[in-house]
Amino acid sequence: MSAIGFGAWAIGGPFMARGKPAGWGQVDDEESVAAVHRALDLGVTFFDTADVYGTGHSERVLGRALSGRWDEVVIATKFGLTFDAATRALTGQDISPGYIRQACRASLERLGTDHIDLYQLHVADAPMEQVDEMVATLEGLVDEGLIRAYGWSTDDPERVAAFAKGPHCAAVQHNLNVLHDAPAMLAVCDTHELASVNRGPLAMGLLTGKYGPDSRLPMDDVRGDSPAWMTFFKDGRPAPEFLAMLDAIRDVLTSGGRTLAQGALGWLLARSGRTVPIPGIKTVGQAEQNAGALLHGPLEAAQLAQIDEVLQRHAR
Ligand SMILES: NC(=O)c1ccc[n+]([C@@H]2O[C@H](COP(=O)([O-])OP(=O)(O)OC[C@H]3O[C@@H](n4cnc5c(N)ncnc54)[C@H](OP(=O)(O)O)[C@@H]3O)[C@@H](O)[C@H]2O)c1
């Protein structure tokens, strides 16, 4: 599996959550398919999606792009959030055994494949009391050959440790990027020998350097009408404190001819042997630039230390 993956949230197109846009605006499916193909050509073989992205559309587009190439890839998707495809809206959550089994079959159908490599719980704060029941259901799906492994998309180390009791729990998906370190999450991955799949590796685009203090994201973009949980964009604009942090480390990230995005991905590759960043990609150009980070490789340990010092983070 490639050291850098492909995040497929944006290619799902528009959908709504609690009355606000939850997608990344309009996307062109032909461009999305071309971006997946370009990523594959450049050695990217790990693809992360969710049933809810575009209320099923991301899985369908990805399935179309990967058709005939399933042997080359590792596919990850998610379950637990419910949605109505007719209104393209999220409706709630369900982690009951019956729903998990139904959601798994629906994802397989939309993707057009016979198994999911990594099946991830999408409900970050699902109750601990339901962990044993979920693990038993997921182990059942492994036994049936419908999934190979499972994990939790959460930023809570305790929840990760509880899920890791399951024999086929292989990964956690969590927030990690050069502006937001997560040592406790990486430590729990070490303890339980889990892969650390990194969402938001480019701080939702802020780390690419293309957004400045005057940028205003469109209202049909999840960043445009920013929900309360979002840290890197506030009121539709990049958060000034993160732009200042980016400015402070710009020179280190762009060392060796890297673009800012490649430097941000290089930081993640260097941060731990378990990290697998999954930058969200919408276009062929983004696929090319992000895959280019594989050629540049990880930043050096001294550069990580320099970044910690500049950002006044405690040395590890
Ligand atoms: N709860 C969860 O499980 C969860 C939550 C969040 C994300 N994820 C997963 O993690 C993936 C990545 O996280 P993310 O989408 O939040 O954010 P991200 O990867 O930090 O940023 C992605 C965005 O940055 C821009 N971009 C990407 N590469 C670029 C490049 N080379 N040059 C310029 N702009 C570039 C694109 O948007 P613009 O061009 O519009 O700026 C893209 O959609 C998602 O696709 C999804 O698979 C999961």
154 Cα: distance to centroid of ligand 1 (angstroms): 17
Mean pLDDT across the stretch 243-268? 98
Does the pTM of the predicted model rise above 0.85?
A: yes
Which DSSP helix (H) or strand (E) runs through 314?
Answer: none
What is the residue with the minimal CA distance to atom 3 of ligand 1?
153
Token pair for 209: 């350097």
165 Cα: distance to centroid of ligand 1 (angstroms): 30
- Which among 59, 282, 294 is the best mutation to test ligand 1's pocket, defined by most ligand atoms within 8 Å of the CB? 282
Q: Is the CB of 261 under 6 A from ligand 1?
A: yes
User: What confidence score (pLDDT) does residue 262 get?
Assistant: 98
**Which three-class secondary structure state does DSSP give residue 254?**
coil
219 Cα: distance to centroid of ligand 1 (angstroms): 17
Cβ contact 217:236 at 8 Å: yes
Read off the pLDDT of residues 292-303 as tens digits, 9 standing for 90 and up.
Answer: 999 999 999 999
260 Cα: distance to centroid of ligand 1 (angstroms): 14
What is the residue with the minimal CA distance to atom 42 of ligand 1?
280
Mean pLDDT across the stretch 213-240? 94
The residue ranges of DSSP E strands in 31-177, in sequence order, are: 46-48, 74-79, 81-84, 89-93, 116-121, 147-153, 169-175
Q: What is the DSSP letter of 256?
A: G
Q: Is the CB of 201 under 6 A from ligand 1?
A: yes
Cβ contact 32:57 at 8 Å: no
Which residues fall within 8 angstroms of residue 129, CB to CB, at 6 or more apart? Answer: none
Read off the pLDDT of residues 44-54 as tens digits, 9 standing for 90 and up.
Answer: 999 999 999 99
Which residues fall within 8 angstroms of residue 30, CB to CB, at 6 or more apart? Answer: none
- pLDDT of residue 2 exceeding 80: yes
- pLDDT of residue 79 exceeding 90: yes
Distance CA 206, CA 243 (A): 8
Whether 99 is a known active-site residue: answer no
- pLDDT of residue 214 exceeding 70: yes
